[in-house]
């Protein structure tokens, strides 16, 4: 996660000479998409602008591959004035209509292929002179020969040259429709009515999602935030085996790729070909599993089924490593992020309905796979079985003395206060899930609830009594360990020392009393493990489990 800064030269907006271009989409039906492009001249003088609404097919035919998603070459061809027709192996035929300008001028349709300009980039020959940069060359360089005279290709644009007076705006309309339902009057009276209807429906929907207690401005912020969540959905295609081997009909990749990022054996199975929520598909167009987990909690307010499907997707066998690790992100699948996936699953489950009528099957499916991930953490990140965990980066890359993802320059290894706290937190979440499933679905989950209760207490004890807590400073620190007898506390005040406060859980007697097996085991444990029972507090009608010293 990060913040990017964009600096513009001072005075660039002083005279207000700039354009605003807004694209709006509305669906009349699943296969009937209406688009309005509004171009606004913010200056005070008339100016000319070139606008090219574009339709293209993603290039899946050039790879020479045979797995799903590889297709024969698609085709877009002109089908009348301002209309094109598309053909694709896996889709029905569609037509796309481009409306002319208000002056009655029809847009000029430009065609090319969605192919890389290999000659320009690599000095290599190419089988077509019509490449994906054709429209730029046509408009900017005046290269008329850059576009195909045959009026067909895999990429098409409607070229509008508009002169707009200062302070005025112009609207261009486009409609993409399945061919069998296409209208002869795609921009008739119904076009604006459909847009208005969709806007009203959206307003009505969000009125049931966003609290009436918010001010108008606060509601707008919430609405824009939800829009951002929806906008960052993106088709993501990444197949490790193919990435390492290269495409059959393309030049072989460099030898370094076989030993570079994501070449580890545990990721050879990875097959990403799904719609996935990105951190920000404009600036960060790749998934990050722990960002996604956080994003799915607010997403569940507006699209709970999508939120559940995304959380389950990353637990499936073509994403999760056979050893139980979740893929972190494209540029380093093996990086370790905070284990928040279980927490997100539990939150989304609780948002799926009132107690007793929630989606138990979803939670149970998550729990089974999360057990594998939890075991991976225990086996890989607690090398000495002391219930003190490492983890490396853990999503917080600017809080340590060392780069925690790399071997330490001093030798030894790092015992991380945040890594250990995250695992205590993970235990509390898995305990909560097991209790939910035991009460509402299947009492056999009591056994797993007992397991995570006791594991939490063990980690909490280690957190507080094996060197991470500093009594004098009243703070948690990472600890550099050289061997069994030598360690060095890293006294850096940072988020590392605050994360242990996450690992707290309150269990109501309402749950405990419904699970006699869990209650019996917990009572026995607290009676006979005097060395550990201080990690649990009994209050009126609740049990309070704490990891941190409070």
* pLDDT at residue 9, rounded to an integer: 60
> Which residues lie across from 48 on neighbouring strands?
163
> Quick one: tokens of 372?
């594998």
223-275 pLDDT tens trace: 999 999 999 999 999 999 988 988 887 778 888 998 888 899 999 999 999 99
What does DSSP say about strands 233-239 and 54-56: parallel, antiparallel, or unpaired? Answer: unpaired
In 174-215, which residue ranges form alpha helices assigned H by DSSP? 189-207
Round to whole Å and give the CA distance between 515 and 494.
Answer: 40
* pLDDT at residue 4, rounded to an integer: 41
Round to whole Å and give the CA distance between 183 and 465.
Answer: 74
* pLDDT at residue 544, rounded to an integer: 57
Contacts 24+ apart (CB under 8 A), 358-364: 358/436, 358/440, 359/308, 360/436, 360/437, 360/440, 360/441, 362/308, 362/312, 363/433, 363/436, 363/437, 363/441, 364/437, 364/441, 364/442
* pLDDT at residue 103, rounded to an integer: 67
Q: What share of the chain is helix, strand, coil (3-state, %, to 5)?
A: 35, 20, 40
> Quick one: tokens of 186?
């795609």
* pLDDT at residue 550, rounded to an integer: 37
444-468 pLDDT tens trace: 999 999 999 999 999 999 999 999 9
> Are the CB atoms for 85 and 77 separated by under 8 Å?
yes
Mark the ranges of the chain whose per-residue pLDDT is less than 70. Answer: 1-10, 103, 395-400, 538-550
* pLDDT at residue 395, rounded to an integer: 66
90-119 pLDDT tens trace: 999 999 999 987 767 788 999 999 999 988
**Could you state, in order of their start, the residue ranges of all structural domains in the chain?**
19-182, 217-381, 388-549
* pLDDT at residue 398, rounded to an integer: 58
* pLDDT at residue 1, rounded to an integer: 28
């Amino acid at each position: 996660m990060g913040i990017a800064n964009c600096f513009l030269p001072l005075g660039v907006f002083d005279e207000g000479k700039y354009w605003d271009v807004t694209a709006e989409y509305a669906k009349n039906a699943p296969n009937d998409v209406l688009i309005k492009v509004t171009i606004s001249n913010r200056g005070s003088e008339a100016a000319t602008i070139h606008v090219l609404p574009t339709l293209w097919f993603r290039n899946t035919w050039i790879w020479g591959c045979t797995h799903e998603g590889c297709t024969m070459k698609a085709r877009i061809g002109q089908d009348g004035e301002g209309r094109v027709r598309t053909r694709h192996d896996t889709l029905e035929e569609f037509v796309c209509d481009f409306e002319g300008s208000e002056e009655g001028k029809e847009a000029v349709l430009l065609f090319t292929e969605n192919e890389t300009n290999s000659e320009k980039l690599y000095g290599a020959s190419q089988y077509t002179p019509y490449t994906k940069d054709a429209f730029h060359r046509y408009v900017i360089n005046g290269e008329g020969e850059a576009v195909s005279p045959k009026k067909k290709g895999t990429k098409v644009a409607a070229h509008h040259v508009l002169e707009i007076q200062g302070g005025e705006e112009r609207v261009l309309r486009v409609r993409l429709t399945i061919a069998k339902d296409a209208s002869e009057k795609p921009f008739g009276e119904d076009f604006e009515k459909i847009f208005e209807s969709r806007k009203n429906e959206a307003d009505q929907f969000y009125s049931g999602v966003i609290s009436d207690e918010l001010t108008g401005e606060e509601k707008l912020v919430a609405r824009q935030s939800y829009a951002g969540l929806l906008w960052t959905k993106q088709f993501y295609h990444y197949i490790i085996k193919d990435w390492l081997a290269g495409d059959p009909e393309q030049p072989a990749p460099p030898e370094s790729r076989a030993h570079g990022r994501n070449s580890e054996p545990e990721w050879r199975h990875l097959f990403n070909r799904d719609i996935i929520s990105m951190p920000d598909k404009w600036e960060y167009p790749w998934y990050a599993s722990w960002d996604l987990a956080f994003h799915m909690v607010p997403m569940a307010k507006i699209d709970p089924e999508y939120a559940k499907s995304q959380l389950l997707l990353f637990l499936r066998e073509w994403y999760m490593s056979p050893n139980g690790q979740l893929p972190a992100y494209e540029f380093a699948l093996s990086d370790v992020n905070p284990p928040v996936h279980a927490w997100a699953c539990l939150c989304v489950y609780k948002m799926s309905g009132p107690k007793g009528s929630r989606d138990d099957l979803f939670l149970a499916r998550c729990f089974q796979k999360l057990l594998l991930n939890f075991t991976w953490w225990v086996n890989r990140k607690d090398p000495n079985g002391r219930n003190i965990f490492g983890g490396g980066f853990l999503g917080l890359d600017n809080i340590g003395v060392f780069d925690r993802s790399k071997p330490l320059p001093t030798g030894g290894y790092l015992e991380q206060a945040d890594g250990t706290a995250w695992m205590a937190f993970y235990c509390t979440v898995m305990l909560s899930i097991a209790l939910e499933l035991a009460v509402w679905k299947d009492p056999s989950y009591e056994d797993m609830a007992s397991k995570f209760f006791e594991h939490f207490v063990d980690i909490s004890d280690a957190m507080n009594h094996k060197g991470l807590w500093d009594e004098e400073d009243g703070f948690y620190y990472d600890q550099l360990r050289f061997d069994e007898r030598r360690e060095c506390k890293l006294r850096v005040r940072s988020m590392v020392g605050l994360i242990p406060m996450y690992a707290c859980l309150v269990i109501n007697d309402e749950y405990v009393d419904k699970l006699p097996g869990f209650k019996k085991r917990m009572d026995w444990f607290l009676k006979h493990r005097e060395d550990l029972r201080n990690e649990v507090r009994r209050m009126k009608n609740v049990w309070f489990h704490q990891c941190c010293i409070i």
